[in-house]
Amino acid sequence: MILGPIAVGVFSFQVLKQNTYEKLLAVNDIHTREFVSRHIDERYKILVDNQLIDIKSYVEEYQREVISEISSNESYEGSFIIVEKKSGSVFYDEAFFNQLDASYFDSIDYGNATEFVVGSKHYVVSKYTFSPWDWIIYGIYPADSIEALLKDVATTVFLVCALAVLLLFAGTIALSHFFLIKPVDKMSRFAEKVANLKLDEKLVLEGPDEIKRLGKTLDVMKNKLSNNLKKIEKANEELAQFSYRASHDLKSPLTVTKKISEYVLKDIDSGDLDEAKINIKRMHKQICSLEALVSDILALAKADLAAENKEIVDFELIISELKEKFKLILEEANCELIINLNINEREVYGEKIRYQQIIENLISNGIKYRDKSKPNSLVRLAINYQGDFLEIEVEDNGVGIPEKNQPELFKMFKRFHPKLSSGSGLGASIIKKHVDHLGGVIVFESSNAGTTFDIKVPINVGASV
Amino acid sequence: MKNLPILIVDDNEGDRYLLTRQLKDTQLPISKVFEAENGEDALEIFKNYEEYLAQNPSNYPPLLVFLDVNMPLIDGHTFLKEFNELRKRENLKSIIIMMFSTSEREEDKKNALEYDFVKDYLIKGTFDSDQLKERINDLFSFEC
């Protein structure tokens, strides 16, 4: 990071040095030329004009004036050296070269001198000859002073560049932190939480649109995961609850039957055959309820499987089977079943068993929960088309579902009229499962005047033709 | 104690019969067995205090209740919650409840035994009449 500004500094120094050195040479040359013309040439002209050029004392006086002027020019940073070729004398400002002795100038080859190096000081040189007096005039100017200045400039350039690079670097870090590292860091923490299934945090990323979009996508992903997880948790909880209740309800009649059978043996041994007979009936009742429960559990399990091939559902057949099945039960219950089938215009394609179990369960409930205090018990079944839906409506004038229990109607193992029927409490769950699998909806209205179930199923759901 | 009226709360008639018969086998001085098919009916027995007392002047209220957990309408847990409120205002403080269930679930046991009036948790089918007698004797002292 530091090499760049150094390179820029060195480069600018070199360029400036070269440029400035050339300018310095030019300026020094002008100064020297001016010195020659104003201090030497003009004096010479005065001597020529006044015809004093041949008078040696005048000439020498004027030459001394020039030489003394070399030393008196204090405001000027440069200086001049005059060499008299004939005598080899060198005149210079002793104050200017104060650390030198005269022998230094002996070693200079004046004819070829293009630069002066005095000690550690460098000077640029401009050389003129003044032939009338056989003089060589050197105008010199310290190159070091300009070099120091240039070094200052180069240092400034270096510092400015370094600062710029530093700012750029810091800016890049800050920007990358804001636009990249921070969102990535946030994302990684978010991913870690998601991995640990902690899904309550919302991810919002700041930064360019791409990052924001990524944040949104991840958040959507998390929400979907969360929803699915909730569904799984709910299903798991339902399954746990189901297996608890199912195993409980399966074990209960077995335990009772086993224990009662022991008493039956005792009763027979003790000759109490009447008690034994009653207890055999009790056992029979337990076994019947166990059988009913197992059938319902199987029905519930089947409701989750696409057990049958899809076909055109023959509702006429379902209804004739239904009538046969419920004939005796209806007679015993003194209950009337009225059927209204209006589905001739279109065919329904699907699994027969689902429709069959829905209808059978609803009618069975209607009969079971009839109101014995009412003179005519009846259950009415109507199947109609409602647009693209098949509507199955079952209405009864039974006891109704108590209002406080209505929200729990489709929950498993719920029985609201235990005195009227000793069912498994799974009937409504079975209906609901089938309706869900058919993509339909089920609603009900219930009061002590009776209950109406209304099911709407989209026609030909899942049809492959 | 000379007489012990009891209440059996269970939706299974077979279970009620079995427990009654087992209690008879213990030969403990059980003076009356009340039966309820679910928590709702059982609560009614305590709510209609005066009425039941009038009908059973020497055997009411039942001092020991055998309570099932899984029942329709009001289950064992809900019964306990409501009974806990009920015994604050009625003269039902001395009533002891023994749970009587097929459920061996820890959650069910823990929830029931949290109430100080629930003194035991019996698993159906795991005890004979001798063991039942012992468990009841742990809770009541009978005069011979």
pLDDT at residue A308 in the model: 65
CB pair distance less than 8 Å for A416 and B12 = no
pLDDT of residue A464: 42
pLDDT score of B144: 56
Q: Does residue A393 surpass a pLDDT of 90? A: yes
- In chain A, what residues touch B21 (CB-CB under 8 Å)? 263
Residue whose tokens read 């309800």: A249
Chain B residues touching A249 at Cβ < 8 A: 70
The answer to whether residue A412 scores a pLDDT higher than 90 is no
Pick the residue with more confidence: B89 or A41? A41
Q: Residue A455: which H helix or E strand, with range? A: strand A450-458
Are B13 and A285 within 8 A, CB to CB?
yes
Interface with chain A: mutation pick from B8, B9, B15, B107, highest number of A CBs within 10 Å: B15
Three-class SS state of A255: helix
Residue A139 backbone zone (phi > 0: left; psi -120 to 50: alpha; other: beta): beta
Give the closest of B14, B17, B103 to A248, CB-based.
B103
- Give yes or no for residue B115 having a pLDDT over 80: yes
How many CB pairs below 8 A link A and B?
A: 56
User: Chain B: nearest CA to A248, how far in angstroms?
Assistant: 6
Q: Which ipTM value was assigned to this complex?
A: 0.87
Q: Name every chain A residue with its beta carbon within 8 A of the beta carbon of B72.
A: 414-416, 418, 425
pLDDT at A172 over 80: yes
Neighbours of A89 (CB within 10 A): 12
Cβ–Cβ gap A255/B11 under 8 Å:
no
Q: What is the Cα–Cα distance from A279 to A276, expressed in whole angstroms?
A: 5
Please tell me if residue A259 touches chain B, with a CB cutoff of 8 Å. Answer: yes
Average pLDDT over residues A366-394: 90
Q: Residues A435-450: pLDDT tens digits? A: 998 899 999 999 988 9
For the residues A222-251, what does the mean pLDDT come to?
Answer: 88
Q: What is residue A143's predicted lDDT score, i.e. its pLDDT?
A: 79
pLDDT digits (tens, 9 = 90+) for A77-102: 888 888 888 887 888 887 777 766 66
Contact A248 B11 (CB under 8 A): no
Res B78 pLDDT > 90: yes
Confidence band of A302 (pLDDT split at 50, 70, 90): confident
Contacts of B100 (CB under 8 A, 6+ apart): B8, B10, B15, B19, B66, B67, B68, B122, B124
Q: Answer yes or no: is pLDDT of A299 > 70.
A: yes
pLDDT band, residue A307 (cuts 50/70/90): low
Tell me which of A45-49, A423-427, A461-465, B122-126 is least confident.
Answer: A461-465
Q: Residues 337..376 of A with a Cβ closer than 8 Å to B: which?
A: none
Cβ atoms of A406 and A446 closer than 8 Å? yes
Q: What is the mean pLDDT of residues A396-425?
A: 85
Q: Nearest by CB to A282, which of B14, B71, B102?
A: B14
A414–B contact, CB cutoff 8 A = yes
| CB nearest A248 (choices: B37, B38, B70) | B70
Lowest mean pLDDT among A3-17, A336-350, A399-413: A3-17
Residue A407 burial by Cβ neighbours in a 10 Å radius (0-12, 13-18, 19+): exposed
Contact at CB, B18 and A256, closer than 8 angstroms: yes
pLDDT(A138) > 90: no
Residue-level pLDDT at A274: 94
Average pLDDT across chain A, whole number: 85
CB contact under 8 Å between A418 and B11, yes or no, is yes
Cα-based angle B26, B28, B29 (whole degrees, multiple of 5): 150
Q: Assign A141 a pLDDT band (cuts: 50, 70, 90).
A: confident
The nearest CA of chain A is from the CA of B2 a distance in Å of: 28
- Distances in Å between the Cα of B61 and the Cα atoms of A141, B22, B36, B94, B117 are 130, 21, 14, 10, 15
A156/A446 Cα distance (integer angstroms): 93
Stretch B1-10: mean pLDDT: 89
Residue B141: phi and psi, rounded to 5, are -110, 125
Q: Is the confidence at residue A125, as pLDDT, over 90? A: no
Is pLDDT of A383 > 90? yes
Closest-CA distance of chain B to residue A256, Å: 6
pLDDT > 60? residue A402: yes
